[in-house]
Amino acid sequence: MLQQGWIVKAGIEDISEDAPLSGKGQGRPLVAKAQRRELEAVLAGGTPLAMVMVRVAGFSLFERLYGATLASRVVEELERVLQQEVGRLSPQGQALVLERLEGASFMALFPNGVHGLSDLFDMALRLRLSVRNKLNHQVMQLTGQSLRIEAGCSLLPAETGRNFESLLHFALDDAHQAARGSLDPSKLGLMHQFRQILEVPLLASVYQPILDLRRGEILGWEALARGPEDSYFSSPQMLFDFAEEVGNIFTLERVCREQALAGLGGVGQGQKLFLNIHPQTLGDPNFRPGQTLSLLERYGLSPHNVVFEITERHPIKDFTLFHRTLEHYRSQGYLVAIDDVGTGYSGLSSLAKVRPDFIKVDMSLIRGIDTNPVQRALLETMVTFANKIGCAIVAEGIETQTELTSIVAMGVHYGQGFHLAKPSSPKPQICLPVSLLSPGQRRGGQELTCSMPVRELVEPALQVLPETPTKNVKRILDSQPIGGVVVALDDRPLGLVMSHSLDRLLGAYYGTSLYWERNVTRVMDPVPLIVEGSLPVEQVAGTAMSRERFKIYDHIIVTDNGRLMGIVSVQKMLDALARVQVEMARGMSPLTGLPGNVALEQEIERLCRQESPVSLIYADLDNFKVYNDSYGFEAGDQIILLMARVMSWALRRHGEPDDFLGHLGGDDMVAITTPERAERVCQAAVRCFKRLVGACYTSEDRRNGFVMGKDRAGKPGRFPLVSVSLAIVDSLGPCQIGDISKRAAEVKRWAKSIPGNVYVRDRRSPLAEGEAMAPEQGA
C-alpha cells in the first residue's frame, strides 16, 4: 500500500499547471520518521540516494473536468504502475520510499551505488515514457484525452554534517527542474546510442501483409521498424517515444522510410507499401516530395505503390497546413490511410476532412468482435460509412479464426494481424482459403456488383501543358464538344480544367482580367479525382459521388501506374452501372428474388475449381403437380415461396453468413454451405416446412392428409400433401461439374423415393476422393 507522505507548503498548485513542490526546508517533513532513519543510515554508510519524481502535469484541471472519482482512479493506477517500474530501476528490486506528495505527484528514493547523473537522467526518461504509455492507454479509453507526464531525477550525496531534510528538499527541487524541461538531451547517455542507430543505420524493417478479404490476395505490406536486439531501443514504442522526446522524430521516420523501401523487394501490379507517418511530418520542411519520389524510382516503385499511414494517436495541430500538404501528395499519386481509428484524436470530423483512401480500425475494436454485439454494430456502421465515401476498411490485430470469420461476414474489405501472418523479413507471401472469402466473392451472384475495371470506359483526354495560357484553354473548350481538359506533364496528370468551372471563374468580377493571360495552373483543379485503371467501376463511382457538391460531375482522370490513360465522365460510369445492374437482374428469379440459373451455374463452376470443402443441398417438392392442378398456379407459387423462405431461414439460422441459395426454376432450388452445417440446415428445413405447409390446404384436405387428383399419366388417385426432399452432395476439392450433376440426380432420386419430408446425404466418398457407398437418409 502507498504510505501517506508529507506535502511541502512552499508551492501553490495552479489550476492549469501543478506548481513544483519546493521549499528547501521550509515545509513539513517529506518522509516519516521510520523511513527517514533508514535513508539516513544508507547515506551514513557512504552510499548516495537516487531520487526520481513523477507527476501528472495539470492534474488539478483534470480533476475539475472529469471529477474526483476518475481523478482518484488515475492516482491509483499511477501508483500501481510506479511500483512496477521503480522496482526495475532499484538495485534491490524495490524503492526504499515511494511517497505520494500532492495531487498526482510521487517521489521514489533508492540506494544508488553505481549510477552517475547521466544514467539517472536515462532512468527518469525511461520511467516517464513507460508510465506515459501504460497510464494513457487507460485514460485515453475513458476520456479520449491523454495526460502529460513529467519525470525528473536527482542525487542525494553521502555527505556528513548536512541536514537530511534540507538535502531532501534540495534534491526534490532539482528533480522538479529536470522534469520541467531544463534537462539538456545531449546529457542523456541514451542519446549517443540513438544517434548511432540513425547514422549507421542499425534499424531493420519487417513487413506485415494486408490481405484483400474479398479476393484472398495480398493488397500490400505495412512496414514496421525494429531497433537493435537486446537494447533499450529494441521496442519500436520506446524508439519512437524517445525520438519524439528529443525532437528527432522526423529524422527517425526518414531513416525508417529508406530502410523500408530498401528491404521491400519486388511488388506486383497494384500492390502497396504502407508507411507510417507522424501527422507533423507532413509539415516538416525536410519532408520533400522530390526526395521521396527519387527513393521510389531507385527501387522501381511509383507513388501509386505507397500509402501514407497517418496515426490517429497524435493530434493534428495545424489542419490547414496539413490538409494542403496532404492534397499536394495526393496529386502526385500517393494514397492516404488513417491508422488506429477508434482510439485517438481525430474522430469523425477529421475523417471527413482527410477523406482517407483507407481507414485502419484499431485492434481494440476487433478483439472479441465475434462475441460483442456492440463492437459488431460499430464495425458494420464503419463499413457502410466507408462504402458511401469511397474508401476501404482495414481491420488490424486479427488474432483468432473466429475474429477473421466475423469481419469477413461483415464485409470488411481488408485485414491484417498475427492470425494471418506475423511481421517478418523478407515480406511474407500468403493468401486466404477460398472458403474464408467474403460473401461478395465466395458466393457470387447474391450481390449485384460491377467489377468491370474503369479502364474499359476510358475516353481519350485532351492534354495541355502547365504553361498554356488560360485564353488558349478557353478557346479549345469552346471550339470542341468536350467537357474538360487535363493539365499534364510527361504524361503525368497535374490538374483538370472543366468547362463549367472555367466559365464561372472567368465570369466573376475581374475574372477575365486576372486569369486570361495567366498560365492554366492558376485556374485548374490541382486535386482532381485520379484513379488507377484497374479499379472497379462501382468503387470509382462511389468515390466520385462523394466529392464536394461543386465537383461531383467533374471528369475522373484514369491512369496506368501514374501515367495518363484518359478520362471517364460520371454520366458514362452511371450508364455502365445501370446496364450491368439490368443484365445481372435478369438472372434473378422473378418469383423468389433468388439468383437464377446463370448465377447458380457460375457458382457451381467456381466451386468445381476450388480447394475448400463444400456441400450442395438440392431441394425438390414432392406431389407439387397435383397441388398445382387442384389449387391453381397462384397457390402453387405460394408453396414455392414458402420453400424459398424456409430454406433461407434455415441457412441463416444454422449455416454460415455467406451461404448461397439459388432457384433453378419451378420447384427446384440449390443451397451451398459447409459440410459440417449441411445436416443441421436440412433438419431445420424439413421440420419447418412440414409444420407450415398445412396452412396451404383446406381444413378438409388437412384432416384427410391427402388430395384427390391425377398423376402425370392422367391416372386419378389419392396423393399425399406436398413435402420437401433434400439431397446433400459433398465435394472436398476440384471436380468435374458433370460429376456433381450426375451424383446430385442419383441422390435426389433416392430422396424422392422416401415418403414425407426427408433429407438424404450421399455416404459415398465425397467428390474428388475415392470409392462409393450407399446414401443415408434422415427425416
Helices (H), ranges, 355-420:
363-366, 373-389, 401-409
- What are 272's strand-pairing partners? 220
- What are 211's strand-pairing partners? 218, 415
Find cell 460473401 and name the residue. Answer: 439
Query: What pLDDT was estimated at residue 45?
Result: 80
Provide the residue ranges of all domains of the chain, joining segments of one domain with +. Answer: 3-183, 199-442, 454-578, 591-778
For the chain, what is the total number of helices (H) and then of strands (E)? Answer: 26, 27
Query: What pLDDT was estimated at residue 277?
Result: 84
Whether residue 488 contacts residue 460, with contact meaning beta carbons closer than 8 Å, is answered with: no
- What are 99's strand-pairing partners? 3, 107
| 495-509 pLDDT, tens digit each | 999 999 999 899 888
Cα gap 708→720, rounded to integer Å: 9
Q: What is the pTM of this model?
A: 0.52
Taking the CA atoms of 421, 427, 430 and 436 in sequence, report the sign of the dihedral they define.
positive
Cα gap 761→682, rounded to integer Å: 10
Q: What is the DSSP letter of 356?
A: -
Query: What pLDDT was estimated at residue 321?
Result: 64
* Beta-sheet pairing, 306-311 with 335-341: parallel
* Beta-sheet pairing, 49-56 with 272-277: unpaired
Cα gap 325→284, rounded to integer Å: 10
Taking the CA atoms of 602, 606, 608 and 609 in sequence, report the sign of the dihedral they define.
positive
Find cell 496532404 and name the residue. Answer: 326
b/e sequence 185-206, b meaning 16+ C-beta within 10 Å: eeebbbbebbeebbeeebbebb
Cα gap 269→274, rounded to integer Å: 15
Identify the CATH assignment for 199-442 out of 3.40.50.300, 1.20.1260.10, 3.20.20.450, 3.40.50.10310. 3.20.20.450
For residue 746 the three cell numbers come to: 442419383
In whole angstroms, how far apart are CA 75 and each of 80, 101, 237, 403?
9, 11, 24, 35
Whether residue 101 contacts residue 154, with contact meaning beta carbons closer than 8 Å, is answered with: no
Kindly state the helix (H) or strand (E) to which residue 671 belongs, with its residue range.
strand 668-673
Cα gap 52→110, rounded to integer Å: 9
Quick check: bond before 426 cis, omega within 30? yes
- What are 358's strand-pairing partners? 337, 392
Query: What pLDDT was estimated at residue 432?
Result: 63
Whether residue 738 contacts residue 728, with contact meaning beta carbons closer than 8 Å, is answered with: no
Query: Under CATH, which number does the domain 454-578 receive?
Result: 3.10.580.10
Cα gap 598→587, rounded to integer Å: 6
CB atoms within 10 A of CB 254: 19
The DSSP line for 73-85 is HHHHHHHHHHHHH
Please identify every stretch of the chain with a pLDDT value under 50, giving residue numbers as ranges: 1-26, 182, 434-435, 438-448, 770-775
Domains 199-442 and 454-578 share a fold: no
**Residue 55 three-state SS:** strand
Whether residue 374 contacts residue 344, with contact meaning beta carbons closer than 8 Å, is answered with: no
* Beta-sheet pairing, 272-277 with 306-311: parallel
Cα gap 510→516, rounded to integer Å: 10
Cα gap 499→472, rounded to integer Å: 13
Residue (of 663, 652, 642, 656) closest to 757 by Cα position: 642
Q: What share of the chain is helix, strand, coil (3-state, %, to 5)?
A: 45, 20, 35
List, as own/partner pairs, every contact residues 368-376 make where C-beta atoms lie below 8 angstroms and the sequence separation is at least 24, other chains included: 368/403, 369/403, 369/406, 369/407, 370/400, 370/402, 370/403, 370/405, 370/406, 376/406, 376/410
Q: What is the DSSP letter of 595?
A: B
Cα gap 356→386, rounded to integer Å: 9
Q: What is the DSSP letter of 106?
A: E
Q: Which bin fits 347, alpha (ψ -120 to 50), beta or left (φ > 0)?
A: left
Quick check: bond before 590 cis, omega within 30? no
Query: What pLDDT was estimated at residue 611?
Result: 67
Domain 591-778 has CATH 1.50.10.10: no
3-183 fold: Alpha-Beta Plaits (3.30.70)
3-state SS, 270-310, equals: CCEEEEEECHHHHHCCCCCHHHHHHHHHHCCCCHHHEEEEE
Cα gap 129→15, rounded to integer Å: 25
Q: What is the DSSP letter of 593?
A: -
For residue 407 the three cell numbers come to: 469481419
- Type of residue found at 622: D
For residue 224 the three cell numbers come to: 514496421
| 464-505 pLDDT, tens digit each | 999 999 999 999 998 887 889 999 998 899 999 999 999 989
Cα gap 137→128, rounded to integer Å: 14
Angle at 391 between CA 386 and CA 396, to 5 degrees: 80
* Beta-sheet pairing, 614-622 with 563-568: unpaired
